Copies of this chain bind each other. A is one copy, B any other.
């Protein structure tokens, strides 16, 4: 989405710097929020929460273009962690600059709100999935969801996408056990619906997956970028 030159300049000035994080590292610790804000430039990450006995729920996956950290800043004590799946590069914004941004560039503030609302929409979807879909539907949903998102940011090539997450990630995102995730994934593969190989996901029958997941996507007109 186009941004005015002036706004772009402000964004440039606004950001503190670019930061690199290695695969598997924690970007934001669950217990100690730091109020920083990020935009994900490249790589995959995820937001998660854990119960005190270690059960983990992945809230959503973070892909290039995602804006991160609003909930941390505002949430009522309810914290989440962020972890890098692959090596990741982040654009870091200062802890207290958000108000500046709203004041000086309301249109950017508007965009931030847009992004926040879009992310909440995604979490809404995942809640429906975890609450009301069965294992097969959940897996189909996740595959379609991620595939479509990658498509939108232009990261689908030749009908396949990079797929750096493992079955434990999938299980934690869907609220399933690792073993059952494996069996469900395998069943879908044997039905010829998808293939995961060498860290690539290829969907072989999106029609069927959409039907199973009861997932029908409407791409948004255009997405703001920060």
The segment out of A10-18, A114-122, A199-207 that lies at the interface is A114-122
A118 CB to nearest B CB, Å: 5
- Known contacts A71-B117, A106-B106, then 15 further A-B pairs from the complex at CB < 8 Å, ordered by chain A residue: A49-B125, A51-B133, A52-B214, A56-B132, A59-B124, A70-B120, A77-B219, A80-B124, A98-B110, A102-B102, A102-B106, A102-B109, A103-B106, A120-B123, A130-B175
- Tell me if A76 and B118 are in contact (CB < 8 A): yes
With beta carbons under 8 angstroms apart, the residue of B56, B70, B124, B174 that contacts A113 is B70
- Tell me if B127 and A78 are in contact (CB < 8 A): no
Query: How many protomers of this protein does the assembly include?
Result: 2
Pairs A–B under 8 Å by Cβ, sample size 11: A49-B124, A49-B128, A70-B113, A71-B117, A75-B124, A76-B220, A77-B219, A78-B218, A102-B110, A103-B106, A130-B175
Question: Does A19 touch B at the CB level, under 8 Å?
Answer: no
A7 CB to nearest B CB, Å: 14
A117 CB to nearest B CB, Å: 4
Q: Which of A81-133 contact B (CB under 8 A)?
A: 98-99, 102-103, 106-107, 109-110, 112-114, 116-128, 130-133
* Known contacts A113-B70, A117-B116; A131 and B77 CB within 8 A of each other: no
Question: Does A217 touch B at the CB level, under 8 Å?
Answer: yes
- Complex CA gap A160/B138 in Å reads 38
- Complex CA gap A129/B109 in Å reads 31
- Tell me if A121 and B49 are in contact (CB < 8 A): no
- Tell me if A59 and B127 are in contact (CB < 8 A): yes
